[in-house]
């Protein structure tokens, strides 16, 4: 593994650490039955976006959903590994400053709806 591949892989390590040490009662959405399918979809989505010419993508996740954050991180990683520019952007009050800073050409909203509608 060269340095570039190692750096790309290291982006995902915080998510793995969070999944490994989190307690199930802390967040019922962070378990293998919910996360693994999302990771597969994130990888497929990154390939689809890249194939269709999306070169600068802001991936916005719901600020109080760990599952949305995991998916968003995986999608950003997939896009970056495919040579695209992608940013992991938290929704909420920091959304507009982040969009102004990164200036993505497209947004992917990683909001899955595991939380009640009024929260989403």
pLDDT in tens, 64-77: 888 889 999 999 99
DSSP 5-61: HHHHHHTTHHHHHHHHH--TTT-TT-SHHHHHHHHHHHHHHHHHHHHTT--EEEEEE
Complete domains list, the chain, with CATH: 3-17+30-110 (3.40.50.2300)
C-alpha torsion 10→13→41→49, nearest 10: -30
pLDDT in tens, 22-67: 444 565 667 888 888 889 999 999 999 999 999 999 999 988 888 8
What pLDDT is attached to residue 25? 53
pLDDT higher at 117 or 29: 117
Please tell me the pTM assigned to this model: 0.73
């Amino acid at each position: 593994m060269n340095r570039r591949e190692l750096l790309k892989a290291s982006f995902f390590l915080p998510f793995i650490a969070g999944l490994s040490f989190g307690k199930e009662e802390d967040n019922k959405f962070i378990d293998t039955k919910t996360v693994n399918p999302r990771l597969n979809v994130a990888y497929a989505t990154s390939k689809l976006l890249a194939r269709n010419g999306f070169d600068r993508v802001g991936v916005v996740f719901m600020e109080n959903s760990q599952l949305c954050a995991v998916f968003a991180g995986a999608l950003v990683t997939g896009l970056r590994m495919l040579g695209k520019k992608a940013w992991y952007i938290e929704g909420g009050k920091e959304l507009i400053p982040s969009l102004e800073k990164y200036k993505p050409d497209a947004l992917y909203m990683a909001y899955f709806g595991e939380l009640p509608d009024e929260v989403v």
